[in-house]
Amino acid sequence: MALFSRAEYLERIADTKVAMADKGIELLVVCDPANMNYLTGYDGWSFYVPQAVLVVDDQEEPVWIGRQMDVNGARHTAFLSPDNMKGYPEDYIQTTVKHPMNYMGDLIKERGWGQKAVGVETDAYYYTARSDGALKQTLGRSEFIDANLLVNWVRLVKSDAEIGMMEQAGKIAEKVMATALSNLAPGRRECDAVAAVYQAQMTGTPEFGGDYPAIVPMMPTGEKTSAPHLTWTDDPYKPDQAVNLELAACRNRYHCPIARTAYIGTTPPEKLNTLAAITVDGLNLTLDAITPGMTGEDVEKIWRKHIARHGFEKESRIGYSMGLNYPPDWGEHTASLRPGDKTVLAPNMTFHMILGMWMDDFGFECSESFRVTDTGARTFADFERKLFIIE
Amino acid sequence: MALFSRAEYLERIADTKVAMADKGIELLVVCDPANMNYLTGYDGWSFYVPQAVLVVDDQEEPVWIGRQMDVNGARHTAFLSPDNMKGYPEDYIQTTVKHPMNYMGDLIKERGWGQKAVGVETDAYYYTARSDGALKQTLGRSEFIDANLLVNWVRLVKSDAEIGMMEQAGKIAEKVMATALSNLAPGRRECDAVAAVYQAQMTGTPEFGGDYPAIVPMMPTGEKTSAPHLTWTDDPYKPDQAVNLELAACRNRYHCPIARTAYIGTTPPEKLNTLAAITVDGLNLTLDAITPGMTGEDVEKIWRKHIARHGFEKESRIGYSMGLNYPPDWGEHTASLRPGDKTVLAPNMTFHMILGMWMDDFGFECSESFRVTDTGARTFADFERKLFIIE
ipTM of the complex: 0.97
Distance CA A130, CA A145 (A): 17
Spell out which residues of chain A touch residue B296, defining contact as CB-CB under 8 Å: none
Nearest residue in chain B measured CA to CA from A193 = B203
Which chain B residue is nearest to residue A226, measuring alpha carbons? B72
Query: Given a cut of 90, is residue A324 above it in pLDDT?
Result: yes
Of B77, B94, B128, the CB nearest to A333: B94
Neighbours of B271 (CB within 10 A): 12
Question: Are A125 and B44 within 8 A, CB to CB?
Answer: no
Distance CA B227, CA B211 (A): 27
- What whole-number distance in Å separates Cα of residue A324 and Cα of residue A151? 12
Contacts of B43 in chain A (CB under 8 A): 230-231
- Position B358 confidence tier, pLDDT thresholds 50, 70, 90: confident
The three-state secondary structure class of B38 is helix
For residue A160, is pLDDT > 80? yes
Q: Which of A123, A209, A215 sits opposite B191 (nearest CB)?
A: A209
Are B70 and A203 in contact (CB < 8 Å)? no
> What ranges make up the beta strands (E) of B180-330?
241-251, 254-264, 319-322
Which chain B residue lies closest to A195 (C-alpha atoms)?
B199
pLDDT given at position A362: 84
Work out the percent of chain B whose per-residue pLDDT is above 90.
Answer: 93
Tens of pLDDT, residue by residue over B174-222, are 999 999 999 999 999 999 999 999 999 999 999 999 999 999 999 999 8
Determine the residue of chain A that is closest to B358 in CA distance. A69
Query: Chain A contact for B193, CB < 8 A?
Result: no
Percent of chain A residues topping a pLDDT of 70: 100
For A41-63, what is the mean pLDDT?
Answer: 98
Contact B216 A216 (CB under 8 A): no
- Measured in angstroms, the CA of B106 and the nearest CA of chain A are apart by 20
pLDDT over 80 at A97, yes or no = yes
d(CA B12, CA B7): 9
8 A C-beta contact, residue A17 and residue A11: no
- The better pLDDT of the pair B195, A94 is held by B195
Mutate to test the interface with B, among A31, A45, A316 (most CBs of B within 10 A): A45
B258 CA: distance to closest CA in chain A (Å): 17
pLDDT of A95 > 90? The answer is no
Determine whether the interchain pair A200/B195 forms a contact, defined as Cβ–Cβ distance below 8 Å.
Answer: yes
Q: Name residue A370's amino acid.
A: F
Rg (alpha carbons) of chain A, rounded to whole number: 23
Indicate the Cα dihedral angle B223, B226, B232, B238, nearest 10°. Answer: 30
Smallest CA-to-CA distance from B230 within A307, A188, A46 is with A46
Is the confidence at residue A359, as pLDDT, over 90? no
Beta-carbon separation of B130 and A122 below 8 A: yes
B63-67 and B85-88 strand pairing = parallel
* Residues sharing a CB contact under 8 Å with residue B369, sequence separation 6 or more, in sequence order: B166, B170, B173, B255, B256, B257, B258, B322, B350, B351, B352, B353, B379, B380, B381
Q: Does A188 touch chain B (CB under 8 A)?
A: no
Instruction: Tell me whether B332 touches chain A (CB under 8 Å).
Output: no
User: What is the gyration radius of the CA atoms in chain B, in angstroms?
Assistant: 23
Residue A271 touches partner B, C-beta closer than 8 Å: no
Give the whole-angstrom CA distance, residue A249 versus residue B22. Answer: 47
Which residue is closest to A127 within chain B, CA to CA? Answer: B128
Chain B residues lying within 8 Å of A191, measured CB to CB = 202-204, 209-210
Nearest to B328 among A195, A231, A327 (CB): A327
Out of B191, B199, B229, the one facing A46 most closely (by C-beta) is B229
- Smallest Cβ–Cβ distance between B73 and the set A132, A211, A230 belongs to A230
Q: Which of A73, A75, A226 sits opposite B229 (nearest CB)?
A: A73
Query: How many of the other CB atoms lie within 10 Å of CB of B307?
Result: 18
Edge-to-edge order in the sheet of strand A254-264: A241-251, A254-264, A387-390
Residue (of B112, B102, B123, B138) closest to B26 by Cα position: B112
Predicted local distance difference test score (pLDDT) of residue A221: 92
Rounded to the nearest 10 degrees, how much is the dihedral formed by the CA atoms of A218, A222, A228, A233?
A: -50
> Which residue of chain B is at minimal alpha-carbon distance from A68?
B227
Which pLDDT belongs to residue B222?
86
Using pLDDT thresholds of 50, 70 and 90, give the confidence band for residue A94: confident
Q: Read off the pLDDT band of A358 (50, 70, 90).
A: confident
Distance between CA A80 and CA A2 in Å, rounded?
Answer: 9
CA distance A326 to A37: 10
Interface of A with B in 71-110 (CB under 8 A): 72-73, 75-77, 90, 94, 96, 99
Query: Which SS3 state, helix, strand or coil, does residue A2 take?
Result: coil
Nearest CA in chain A to B215: A45
Position B32 confidence tier, pLDDT thresholds 50, 70, 90 = very high
pLDDT in tens, A25-35: 999 999 999 99
CB contact under 8 A, B129 and A127: yes
- Do the beta carbons of residue A367 and residue A258 sit within 8 Å? yes
Q: What is the mean pLDDT of residues A68-96?
A: 94
List, as ranges, residues 218-257 from A with C-beta within 8 Å of B.
218, 224, 226-234
Q: Where are the beta strands (DSSP E) in A92-222?
A: 118-120, 145-146
Q: CA-to-CA distance for B5 and B41, rounded, in angstroms?
A: 10
Q: Which domains does chain A have, with CATH numbers?
A: 6-154 (3.40.350.10), 160-390 (3.90.230.10)
Contact A126, A316 (CB under 8 A): no
> Does A203 contact B224 at a Cβ distance shorter than 8 Å?
no
Using pLDDT thresholds of 50, 70 and 90, give the confidence band for residue A93. Answer: confident
Q: Is the pLDDT of residue A287 over 90?
A: yes
Q: Do A199 and B199 touch (CB under 8 A)?
A: yes
Residue A354 is inside which H or E element, if any? Answer: strand A350-358
- CA B315-B319-B324 angle, to 5 degrees, is 145
Check if B4 contacts A (Cβ < 8 Å).
no
pLDDT above 80 (res A315): no
Q: In this complex, do B198 and A200 lie within 8 Å of one another by their Cβ atoms?
A: no
| Shortest Cα distance, chain A CAs vs residue B207, angstroms | 9
| Three-state SS at B177 | helix
Contact between B155 and B38 under an 8 Å Cβ cutoff? The reply is yes
Q: Determine the average pLDDT of the residues in B27-45.
A: 98
